[in-house]
A and B are shown apart, each in its own frame.
Chain A
Amino acid sequence: NAGVTQTPKFQVLKTGQSMTLQCAQDMNHNSMYWYRQDPGMGLRLIYYSASEGTTDKGEVPNGYNVSRLNKREFSLRLESAAPSQTSVYFCASSVDRVDSPLHFGNGTRLTVT
């Protein structure tokens, strides 16, 4: 039972490079989310998708774009990476009922030099 799968696990980029973080879930969840985790900051929501074909900004969307490719997949793109985007990125999914928890992937550790 895979749950939420994120790729890659680790990535190093130079400033200005682009990349896409991939996320897929096999739990038939409607809602998917991208968070970033920074020391002393907790988790902050970047973007979320309540259903296939819809996306909305979270708390810290600047510098990122997302695509909800289908119900299973939700990707996060950095068009021009900056050192401030060095972080651990988590994808999550949920049923989005009022009592449903988030299911998290294991994260992608991104370093921008």
Chain B
Amino acid sequence: AQSVTQPDIHITVSEGASLELRCNYSYGATPYLFWYVQSPGQGLQLLLKYFSGDTLVQGIKGFEAEFKRSQSSFNLRKPSVHWSDAAEYFCAVGAAGTASKLTFGTGTRLQVTL
């Protein structure tokens, strides 16, 4: 069975600083990997996804993520954080053949200080 670990429950960064959110997955084959963001009181929105090809993927809002098979990781990065990036971020892994039945991590809450 697939699983996802987000080791950081809560992260605080200053506006303008760089950001890296960690995600480690467990899956027997090539995974389908996603990052979603949830703003307060809202549903989740897709930031980016990886299925195959270039291991560095670009998403919306200036985010990127790098798939590293050797480390079973899919970390999310942003070079310069904005106050509006404060939200909860979820990594998810999908089974081959159907990306819709996802297993979500427990989330990382990002706080941005001015």
Q: Tell me whether chain B's interface is mostly helix, strand or loop, or mixed.
A: strand
In the complex where A98-B51, A101-B34 touch, is A31 in contact with B100 (Cβ < 8 A)?
A: yes
| Distance in Å: Cβ of A35 to nearest Cβ of chain B | 8
Q: Sort chain A's interface into a size bin.
A: 20 to 34
In-complex Cβ contact of A101 among B4, B46, B90 (8 A) = B46
Which A-chain residue is minimally distant from B49 (CB atoms)?
Answer: A101
The interface size of chain B toward A, counting residues with CB under 8 Å, comes to: 25
- Residues on B close to A: CB < 8 A? 4, 9, 32, 34, 36, 41-46, 49, 51, 90, 96-102, 104-107
- Residues on A close to B: CB < 8 A? 4, 31, 33, 40-45, 48, 58, 90, 92, 94, 96-102, 104-107
Q: How far is the CA of A20 from the CA of B12 in the complex (A)?
A: 38
Q: How far is the CA of A99 from the CA of B32 in the complex (A)?
A: 8
What's the count of A-B pairs with C-beta under 8 Å? 61
15 intermolecular pairs with C-beta atoms under 8 Å apart? A33-B100, A41-B106, A42-B104, A45-B102, A90-B44, A92-B43, A98-B32, A99-B32, A99-B99, A102-B36, A102-B44, A102-B100, A104-B43, A106-B42, A107-B43
Which A-chain residue is minimally distant from B44 (CB atoms)?
Answer: A104
| Distance in Å: Cβ of B103 to nearest Cβ of chain A | 8
Q: Are B100 and A100 in contact (CB under 8 A)?
A: yes
Residues of A within 8 A of B105 (CB): 42
| Distance in Å: Cβ of B79 to nearest Cβ of chain A | 24
Q: Are A4 and B43 in contact (CB under 8 A)?
A: yes
